[in-house]
């Protein structure tokens, strides 16, 4: 079944290199697995086209059946699990850095309520974790969604909201106040996440909406490093409340003009696995962990990007 999943990935992604990158394998490993699948099926599944390969007509037929088989297998596993009095098995979770605290809190409840349920946790950004979810390498992914940057809503992924996490501009402590936040940011360098991330695209969008082109000097996915760069006076950044307390003495935290603004945090699983007792147990524990977070106003959001007053957190 694992090799059938790799064939499905190749069908969707087009190249062995793309499959290897998405699933964090080497291209040679993918090639070896598919060669073994050819031997098991007894027909050629791939044919060379220049430096690439493409699926044969027999492979396309196999893919169509594999999709049905994989869905049926997950439905069978869910039905068996629902018939048991105790929740067991393994749930493999991927989460981004600032949600690790929520996951850790959830593990406490899971260990108490479901001692035979094993949870494995991997720190990985959503853009890499979601393809691995679809390839059945993961069972649950904690994802983030920034304003004006919605996640693609695939029919084979089931999303469930966890919380709304407030986003603020972080400046070094003792930053002189100004009547306009953007005036205060003028001439400062930024610490941001890498190219292609939703957080960076959103940051650049709101800056440009305000007529401010950000001077990006520091790039890292590590928000703890971003916070340290701000505290040491090297940069400014947009940081989420999940990262730590809003009264951090090393920072001055202010709302984004036109805000307050939030990112939405969700869990994602395969649609056919959403009703599995192990998945519902982990999601319930995560929801309880989120209940300890301050709930933002239901009317909160990101409004037009105008001027704002620099004030305390």
The C-alpha angle with vertex 190 and arms to 185 and 191, in degrees rounded to 5, equals 145
Q: Which pLDDT score is estimated for 185?
A: 84
Average pLDDT, the chain: 86
48: its two tokens: 């060379």
Residue 171 predicted with pLDDT over 70: yes
Q: Which pLDDT score is estimated for 176?
A: 64
% of the chain residues with pLDDT over 90: 50
pLDDT tens readout for residues 11-37: 888 888 888 887 778 889 999 999 999
Q: Which pLDDT score is estimated for 178?
A: 57
pLDDT tens readout for residues 55-83: 999 999 999 998 888 888 888 888 888 88
Query: 221, exposed or middle or buried, with CB in 10 Å at 0-12, 13-18, 19+?
Result: middle
Is the distance from CB of 162 to CB of 96 less than 8 angstroms? no
The contacts found for 77-83 with CB under 8 angstroms, 24 or more apart, are 77/273, 77/276, 78/272, 78/273, 78/275, 78/276, 78/277, 81/276, 81/277, 81/278, 82/275, 82/276, 82/277
pLDDT band at 296 (very low <50, low <70, confident <90, very high): very low
Q: Which pLDDT score is estimated for 119?
A: 97
Average pLDDT on 268-284 reads: 95
pLDDT tens readout for residues 102-139: 999 999 999 999 999 999 999 998 888 998 888 788 99
Q: Which residues pair with 198 in a beta bridge?
A: none
List the one residue out of 150, 164, 137, 131 whose CA is nearest residue 198. 150
> Is-cis flag, bond preceding 260, omega within 30?
yes
Q: Which pLDDT score is estimated for 218?
A: 97
Is the distance from CB of 272 to CB of 75 less than 8 angstroms? yes
Residues 6+ apart with CB under 8 A from 238: 167, 168, 169, 170, 192, 199, 203, 256
Residue 248 predicted with pLDDT over 80: no
Q: Which residues pair with 119 in a beta bridge?
A: 91
Q: Which pLDDT score is estimated for 236?
A: 94
pLDDT band at 245 (very low <50, low <70, confident <90, very high): low
Residue 303 predicted with pLDDT over 80: no
Question: Could you give the CA distance from residue 120 to residue 107 in angstroms, rounded to a whole number?
Answer: 10
Beta strands in the chain (DSSP E): 46-49, 52-55, 89-95, 117-123, 140-145, 157-172, 189-192, 215-219, 237-240, 251-255, 261-270
Residue 312 predicted with pLDDT over 50: no
pLDDT band at 302 (very low <50, low <70, confident <90, very high): low
pTM over 0.75: yes
Q: Which pLDDT score is estimated for 179?
A: 64
Q: Determine which helix (DSSP H) or strand (DSSP E) holds 307, and give its type and residue range.
A: none
Three-class secondary structure of residue 229 per DSSP = helix
Residue 54 predicted with pLDDT over 50: yes
The radius of gyration computed from the CA coordinates of the chain, to the nearest angstrom, equals 23
How far does CA 233 lie from the centroid of its chain?
Answer: 29
Ramachandran class of 297: left when φ > 0, alpha when ψ lies in -120 to 50, beta otherwise: beta
């Amino acid at each position: 079944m694992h090799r059938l999943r790799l064939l499905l990935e190749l069908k969707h992604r087009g190249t062995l290199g793309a499959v290897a990158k998405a699933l964090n394998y080497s291209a040679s490993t993918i090639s070896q697995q598919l060669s073994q699948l050819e031997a098991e099926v007894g027909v050629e599944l791939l044919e060379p086209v220049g430096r690439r390969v493409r699926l044969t007509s027999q492979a396309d037929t196999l893919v169509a059946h594999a999709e049905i088989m994989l869905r049926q297998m997950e439905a069978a596993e869910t039905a068996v699990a629902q018939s048991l009095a105790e929740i067991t098995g393994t749930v493999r979770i991927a989460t981004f850095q600032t949600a690790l605290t929520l996951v850790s809190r959830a593990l406490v409840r899971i260990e108490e309520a479901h001692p035979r349920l094993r949870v494995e946790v991997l720190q990985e950004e959503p853009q890499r974790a979601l393809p691995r979810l679809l390839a059945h390498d993961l069972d649950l992914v904690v994802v983030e969604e920034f304003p004006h940057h919605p996640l693609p809503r695939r029919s084979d992924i089931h999303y469930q909201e966890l919380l709304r996490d407030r986003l603020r501009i972080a400046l070094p402590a003792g930053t002189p106040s100004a009547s306009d936040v953007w005036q205060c940011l003028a001439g400062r360098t930024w610490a941001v996440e890498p190219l292609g991330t939703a957080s960076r695209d959103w940051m650049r969008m709101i800056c440009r909406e305000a007529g401010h082109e950000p001077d990006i000097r520091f790039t890292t996915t590590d928000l703890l490093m971003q916070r340290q760069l701000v505290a040491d006076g090297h940069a400014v950044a947009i940081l989420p409340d999940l990262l730590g307390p809003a009264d951090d003495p090393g920072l001055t935290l202010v709302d984004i003009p036109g805000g307050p603004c939030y990112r939405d945090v969700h869990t994602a699983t395969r649609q056919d696995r959403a009703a599995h007792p192990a998945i519902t147990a982990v999601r319930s524990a995560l929801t309880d962990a989120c209940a300890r977070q301050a709930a933002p106003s239901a009317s909160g959001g990101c409004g037009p990007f105008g001027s704002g007053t620099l004030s305390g957190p």
